[in-house]
Chain A
Amino acid sequence: MSPMQSAASTRSLAYAWALLACGVTALAATPLLEVVDPANIIVLFLLTVALVARFWGSGPALAAALASVALFDFFFVPPRFTFAVADAQYLLSFAVMLVVALIIGQLMARLREEAESAARREAQTRALYEMARELSAALTASQVAEIVSRFLAGYLRVAASLYLPDQNDHLTRVAPESGVGHDHGPAAIPHVTAVFESGAAMSLAAEESGYAPALALPLVSPVRCRGVLLAAAPSAEAVFAEEQRPLLEAVASLVAIAVERLHYVDVAQQATLNMESERLRSALLSAVSHDLRTPLTVLVGLADSLALARPPLPVALSETATALRDQALRLSGLVHNLLDMARFQVGKARLKKEWQPLEEVVGAALKDLGARLESCPIRIDLAADLPPLEFDAVLMERVLCNLLENAVKYAPQGPIAIEARQAGEWVAVSVLDEGPGLPQGVEESLFELFERGRHEGTATGVGLGLAICRAIVEAHGGTIRGENRPEGGARFTFTLPVGEPPAMEMEEEKAQGDD
């Protein structure tokens, strides 16, 4: 039996019950006529109409009201068993009875409808809540598809399909875990893609969805559209009920939240994985660097011993020994850089920030580089009114050493300049050279790991130094950039925040010897 036929038969049955109820009332009231006034019988009929309205709705109540008036007239108003009325005042009774019966019937019927719709809403809410609960426990997209198709099939007799984007943002249908549900095939893909891209719901005809009239709803989350839910009517002939749309939209928003949650679970897992592999790599790096140190110390020491041997070695041998030592020292510098970078990448580098003048660390860096800067004139131009800055002296010395080494590597004849100026909340420190400058378009990538400005091999060293500079400067809340100077050569500038230097109580100026 089709739903429509069944609804019609239920309705005629209700009318039959209504009429039967009136008949029963008439029969039951007949014996009472001897003890009560006919006018009171009216009350019994009104009760019947109210009950009919309560159980079968407004249509049957109307029928019952009319039947009640007819039965009352026929059985209880003299002359009895005719529709004739002897006393004209009964006409007023009929009219009032009819009106009251109609009003009661309507009121009761509306009450009944409201109670029914409240119950329906409550059931709907409970079902939605159940689905939301299940969705919150879902671990995969196919579980989400399974839950939503089960809910819609059971509750609205709607066939649901879930479409989610792959890595290339192409929508594909997610098969529910148990394999139920209907695959609309490729026909629906262009339409759901349009919904996905526009973010607006769309009604599809049967031939568009490839199955039955359907509604395509975007899964809109706070961040972006996460996919499309396609809800199709049970069959090609069935009409898609528009009043189901609010519920479907509620379902779509629940599914959107579930899909977004799955997305972030994925992102978090990926991040954990990346972090783990990064940590492993850094641990390995630091272990390797550590083990390299001892042989490097030996190498530097032995080569140096040879170079300084008494009596002196022949010149050629002595030069070899010196070259050996220099290379070993350079290697040691690289290992040191590697170790630093490993510490930074693992996040283990703790900053020992202290307030101090920049001048001091500039002097220390120049002293540290010592012989390597011998052939190169250096101009130091630090603004006289520079405030003390808060930084880790050891790390800042590394930044300056790396920048100076870099300058001397690409512009060995110099001159090199170190400048520092305050500009508002920042102090900018620059290292300038008059070398060949930076190749166009590499200013940013210079600071990436293992990136080098030039490809020809006259100057050695991986781009680790600049990557470390960036890591250190950024850890201090500053920025670093490289650029070409209009007058030729490169300029590397890093900034440090001025912050709030601690208050200093300086002693009063008085001559020594007074204390």
Chain B
Amino acid sequence: MTNAAAPLILLVEDEPQIRRFVRAALEEEGCRVVEAATAKGALEAMSANPSLLVLDLGLPDRDGVDLIRELRGWSAVPILVLSARAAEDQKVEALDAGADDYLSKPFGVGELRARVRALLRRQSAAGGEAVVEFGDVRVDHVHRTVTRGGEAVHLTPIEYRLLCLLLASTGKVLTHRQLLREVWGPGHGERSHYLRIYIGHLRQKLEADPARPCHLLTETGVGYRFQR
């Protein structure tokens, strides 16, 4: 389990008992784990060149969001954030600063492992698949066509752009602000009701049950996530 090919994960968390079970879960997943209890320790451990950072936002010596901003200045390492359940603003801040995904405390081990797997896979896959399939939907980027159960689905340009953006970040949470900026351009940060309406349209067109979506998921108070 400690062979050199196994991905190295940097775990930054000040609570030793949480480190303990997270470490166990990650090793179970076949990863090597380096631990740090402080932001200072985390920056030092970055020299080991980890493949993924699991970061608790409530560090004793520094604001976690601040640390993400600094790391994003020189590193593209995927970051999974651990945060309190009610702190939606903090999650949005962390994601806007460059974090890739978040987990609310308390979280299950299964969920943690699934998120870590998804982030590691995203990193290894260079992305840019020409054809993406989920459920009975097929998206052909080359011909710009979307079919559902073999039948062509008509999407407006904005709907199509939104869908492509979500597909390109499969498994990753995109905040409202990120989506608005990418689809509508800068200066549209206040038009989140547009985003919600368009996501609703996409669900009507692509989800089997739009009220209980399986692929275009809502992260309430934070943003959206595409899941295959």
Closest to A308 in B: B109
A5-13, A141-149, A230-238, A507-515 - interface stretch: A507-515
Given contacts A301-B21, A302-B21, A359-B211, contact A388 B196 (CB under 8 A): yes
Given contacts A293-B84, A364-B218, contact A305 B106 (CB under 8 A): no
Segment 134-181 of B: residues with Cβ below 8 Å from A: 143-146, 154-161
Q: How far is the CB of A443 from chain B (nearest CB, A)?
A: 28
Tally of A interface residues using CB under 8 Å = 54
Please, what's the 1-or-0 string for A287-302, where 1 marks a CB less than 8 Å from any CB in chain B?
0000001111111111
Contact, CB under 8 Å: B193 / A363: no
Cβ-defined contact, B106 with A300, below 8 A: yes
Contact A294 B18 (CB under 8 A): yes
Q: Does B193 lie within 8 Å of A356, measured CB to CB?
A: yes
- B220 at the A/B interface (Cβ < 8 Å)? yes
Check if B157 sits within 8 Å of A512, measured CB to CB. Answer: yes
A510 touches B156 (CB 8 A): yes
The interface stretch among B22-30, B65-73, B94-102, B120-128 is B22-30
Question: What's the Cα separation between A84 and B199 when bound, in Å?
Answer: 128
Instruction: Contact check, A339 vs B110: say whether CB atoms are below 8 A apart.
Output: no
Docked Cα-Cα span, A397 to B221, in Å, equals: 10
Residues of B within 8 A of A514 (CB): 157
Contact in complex: A363, B159 (CB < 8 Å) = no
Does chain B have a CB within 8 A of A366?
Answer: yes
Residue A352, interface by CB 8 Å: yes
Evaluate contact between A296 and B106: CB separation under 8 angstroms.
yes
Residues 363-377 of A, flagged 1 when their CB comes within 8 A of B and 0 if not, give: 110111000000000
Once A302-B21, A356-B193, A394-B88 are accepted as A-B contacts, the answer to whether A507 and B106 lie under 8 Å apart by CB is: no
Instruction: Please give the distance in Å from A119's CB to the nearest CB on chain B.
Output: 73
Report Cα–Cα, A511/B157, bound state, in Å: 7
Provide the A334-355 mask, 1 if CB < 8 A to any CB of B, else 0: 0010011000000000001011
Does B5 have its Cβ within 8 Å of any Cβ on chain A? Answer: no
Q: Report which of B21, B160, B211 forms a contact with A298, defined as CB distance below 8 A.
A: B21
A301 to B110, CA, bound (A): 10
Contact A325 B108 (CB under 8 A): yes
Say yes or no: is B41 at the interface (Cβ < 8 Å to chain A).
no
CB distance from B213 to the nearest CB of A (A): 6
Tell whether A310 pairs with B28 under 8 Å between CB atoms, given A298-B15, A300-B107, A388-B193.
yes
**Cβ of A360 under 8 Å from chain B:** yes
Within 8 Å of chain B (Cβ to Cβ): is A70? no
Whole-angstrom distance between the Cβ of B121 and the nearest chain A Cβ: 20
Give A contacts to B, CB under 8 Å: 293-302, 304-305, 308, 310, 325, 328-329, 332, 336, 339-340, 352, 354-357, 359-364, 366-368, 380, 382, 388, 393-394, 397, 501-502, 504, 506-515
A/B interface sample: 5 pairs, CB < 8 A: A305-B109, A310-B28, A340-B86, A363-B213, A512-B159
A sample of 12 more A-B contacts (CB under 8 A), given A301-B18, A304-B21, is: A297-B105, A302-B21, A304-B108, A336-B85, A359-B200, A361-B220, A363-B212, A367-B217, A393-B220, A504-B194, A506-B197, A515-B157
The 7 A-B residue pairs whose C-beta atoms are closest, nearest first, are: A515-B157, A512-B160, A300-B106, A355-B193, A513-B144, A301-B21, A394-B221
